[in-house]
Amino acid sequence: MTPEPHDHVSILLVDPSRADGTVASLRQRFKVVEAATVVAALKALNLVRPSAVVMELTLPDGDALAICREAKRHPAPAAVLVTTAATDNVPNALIAGCDGVLMKPFPPNLLHTRLARLLHQRALRVQQKTWLQHKKLSHLKERFQATQTGTNLIWAETYCPSCRLGHAVSFDATSHRRLWFACLVCRHVWIAKVDGSQRAALRNLSGANLYFSPG
Ligand SMILES: [Zn+2]
């Protein structure tokens, strides 16, 4: 099986002693950003927001685990894979929240297998978080309906094109019978043509025309 390229996936590689082959093989599948120190890695973490961090524990300027802890503080934490020959430091890495450890030296294919597994698990975690947000949204929706005084309408079956969740809120229309929608979860705003069920619902609303002038 040929592995699929993940051109859109950014990997932060923090390892001044990395083998040339490691970098080359990672670049075949990922967008690779490199850092050689803790300071540079922390900066890159916040700038790039990588999907995964591949890191050595022995770095010239101090506490490498600060990188791991910082990565795990992000809203969508990167998967952290530690690659090292220093077994003594591994427990601390695990406590700091690293997701995997690959003992050096390792063949590149092992690195890819491990990374693929971690990226897959990370994707599941992000998905689960989206589901939790969806649950939170139903509370938001109740609150929203309770305070609804204007012309905003919640559409359970209208899905956000950005995050794919339902319960989009229409808040206005354009002159061409299109509605403005907002997603309260990801804050995306878009315009879409009124569909059949929306047209019917709009017709049934008391107080007649919320959005469109008659005729
Ligand atoms: Zn959304």
The domains located in the chain, with CATH, are 10-128 (3.40.50.2300), 148-204 (2.20.25)
For residue 136, the CA-to-ligand 1 centroid distance in Å is 13
Q: What is the pLDDT of residues 192-211, one digit of tens each?
A: 998 887 777 777 664 445 66
For residue 182, the CA-to-ligand 1 centroid distance in Å is 8
- Alpha-carbon span 180 to 126, nearest angstrom: 28
Q: What is the pLDDT of residues 138-196, one digit of tens each?
A: 655 544 432 333 457 778 788 889 888 888 888 777 777 888 888 878 888 889 998 88
Determine contact, residues 189/171, Cβ cutoff 8 Å: no
- Alpha-carbon span 23 to 30, nearest angstrom: 10
Residue 79's pLDDT band, with cuts at 50, 70 and 90, is: very high
Determine contact, residues 181/168, Cβ cutoff 8 Å: yes
For residue 39, the CA-to-ligand 1 centroid distance in Å is 34
Q: Is the dihedral of CA 18, 21, 23, 29 positive or negative?
A: negative
pTM greater than 0.85 (yes/no): no
